Amino acid sequence: MDTSWTVCELGCGPALPSLVLAGLGLPLVIATDLDELALDMVTKAAQEQGFDNLKTKCVDLTGNTDVLDQINADLYVMSDVFENGHVAKGAARMTMKALISGSRVWIFAQSDRAQREIFREELKNLGADKYGTIGWLMNESDNVELCSDQLLLFDLDEVTVNYG
């Protein structure tokens, strides 16, 4: 990842990815969610840690994709946002909007999330295969460092994650 990028986390919840990226010193990190209380908590966490490079914005993943025109990020990240099929399809539309604009999109989803396949199928239906392989990268042997795709789908299994 280029440290000069603007990164937007869509459907941030507690925004751990956003907080980590802000802590790495990226110039601008935008954490978005539909839940205003979650965004207030993210703002407070960023302030407590001295991150003036983290901003929040209320965004509905199932809503109008034109909101991404106001954000204009280099990289969009989503992590386990597939709560139901409606959200999964909305996330796919947001992903396509970001890809068409030239941004990169990295999606992280746990293996046991059935709705992630709804997301993947909707991406296929929308023609996202021209931006990257519409398959879940399962492990380090998939070697994403050499991948030039605009779109990357990462399979997560929290049981096997090595935290340290």
Write out the two tokens for 75.
């990289």
| Higher pLDDT, residue 144 or 28 | 28
Q: What average pLDDT does the structure give for the chain?
A: 89
Q: How many residues does the chain have?
A: 164
State the pLDDT at residue 29.
98
Tokens of 121: 């199928």
Instruction: Write b or e for each residue in 23-55: b if 16 or more Cβ atoms lie within 10 A of its Cβ, otherwise e.
Output: eeebebbbbbbeeeebbebbbebbeeeebebbb
Q: Please give the residue that has the higher pLDDT: either 132 or 108.
A: 108
Region 89-94: what's the mean pLDDT? 96
Supply 18's token pair: 């956003």
Dihedral-angle region of residue 104 (phi above 0 means left; psi in -120 to 50 means alpha; beta otherwise): beta
Quick one: pLDDT at residue 146?
44
Does the structure show a pLDDT above 80 at 163?
no
All structural domains of the chain, each given as residue ranges with its CATH number in brackets, are 6-156 (3.40.50.150)
Average pLDDT over residues 8-21: 95
Q: Which residue has the higher pLDDT, 158 or 16?
A: 16
